[in-house]
Amino acid sequence: MTLARRAPPALFAVLPLALALGGCGDKGDSGLICDTSAAASVQVVVTDATANVLPDATVTYAVGGGASQPCEALGSQYICGWEVSGVLTVTAAVSGFEAQSQDVTVPAGTCHVETQNVTLRLNAE
């Protein structure tokens, strides 16, 4: 009686590849498996001098003195960069208020950047 060999399930064929691509840390040898989500670099809230949230702000960021890029509005917050580490200069402007800028250092984490939360308070002109 001869037993037929069964092919291994597809999961076992893909598992080593998934582990190799999903590893994080030093050269992927830490054993840590990271997810595929993206972390915000900086979350910004724009307020007036008395901490009232200002709607319709124009918020931008620049990395290391580079070109300015728009931040994404998300409710009353703005997301400046996804998985961008380094020094980000965040600027907010609203009609009738003085623009405000702040340098924010965003550290690279093991799998994702460490999101920094910033409140930019604008003074009326």
Q: Give the other-Cβ count within 10 Å of 92's Cβ.
A: 26
Tell me which residue has tokens 């600027």: 91
- When pLDDT is cut at 50, 70 and 90, the band that residue 33 belongs to is confident
Q: Cα separation of 28 and 56, whole Å?
A: 42
Q: Which domains does the chain have, with CATH numbers?
A: 8-36 (no CATH), 40-122 (2.60.40.1120)
Q: pTM of whole model > 0.75? A: no
Query: pLDDT band for position 35 (50/70/90)?
Result: very high
Tens digit of pLDDT for each residue in 83-124? 999 999 999 999 999 999 999 999 999 999 999 999 999 999
For 43-57, write each residue's pLDDT tens digit.
Answer: 999 999 999 999 899
pLDDT digits (tens, 9 = 90+) for 72-86: 999 999 999 999 999
| CB 53, CB 92: distance < 8 Å | no
